[in-house]
Amino acid sequence: MIEAVDLERTYKLGDSDVGALRGVSLSVAAGDYVAITGPSGSGKSTLMHVLGALDRPTAGLVRIDGRDVNTLSDGDLAELRNATIGFVFQSFALLARTSAVDNVAMPLLYRGMRKSARRKLAVEALEKVGLAHRLDHRPNQLSGGEQQRVAIARALVGDPKVVFADEPTGNLDTRNGEEVMKLLGALNADAGVAIVLVTHEPDIAAHASRQIQIRDGRIAFDSAAGRDPAAA
């Protein structure tokens, strides 16, 4: 589903180059459930952005569904994301003046889908996350847990092959965080959608079947290998 080879991502900080990723190689298969963990500044969110085609690597290769992102125009890359990937962010990233159902339908708008068809699929997605009674509520009329469920519905409305979730429980209390993790788990187990979860919380990472630890821009541990890959 996703293949990364020798990824590097360097940022300019004043006159200096800062290496956020330093030679990362990994693959995510269809139906995987992966947690990427590591301390603040380790490079885990940068890795998610590069794997999810929100950012391009400075060097190295990323293939998503068999397509090399480095060969794609910005427009083609946006179409690939829209057709293949769903995103869930800690900040929810909902449009403040837009209803829940229209927030969820937004990715379908960019596919040129008719309004009636968009709404039908958005309603179905909200029903799956238990928010059929909140269709026309705006984000400020919803609790934090409800807003995150709207974000999950938006991520799944386009029938993605993989969902990236960046600290999806970071702004939630324990109960709502558990509900969000149940939804992501069901999406993986029942629909076969690959989940790539970024978190610094061990109890959240424990929901995944595979854990990858990032330290100083490198993979320090991958449970799929059972050891430090650098020690091979």
Domain containing residue 142: CATH number? 3.40.50.300
- pLDDT for the residue 10: 93
User: What are the respective helix, strand and coil percentages of the chain, to the nearest 5?
Assistant: 40, 30, 35
pLDDT tens across 78-133, in order?
Answer: 999 999 999 998 888 899 999 999 999 999 998 889 999 999 999 999 999 999 99
In this structure, are residues 58 and 8 in contact, taking their beta carbons and an 8 Å threshold?
Answer: yes
Q: Report yes or no: 101 and 139 within 8 Å, Cβ to Cβ.
A: no
| CA–CA distances in Å: residue 94 to residues 103, 135, 196 | 6, 14, 20
Q: Is residue 189, in this structure, part of any structural domain at all? A: yes
The residue segments making up the domain with residue 67 are 2-224
In this prediction the pTM is 0.89
- Residue 140 inside a domain? The answer is yes
Structural domain contains residue 194: yes
Task: Tell whether 137 is covered by a domain.
Answer: yes
Residue 230 has what pLDDT? 47
- Considering the domain boundaries, does residue 50 fall inside one? yes
Q: Is the residue at 229 inside a domain?
A: no
Count the domains in the chain. 1
Does 192 map to a domain? yes
Q: Does any domain span residue 231? A: no
In the chain, which residues have pLDDT < 50? 227, 229-232
Return the pLDDT at 181: 93
Question: pLDDT value at position 226?
Answer: 60
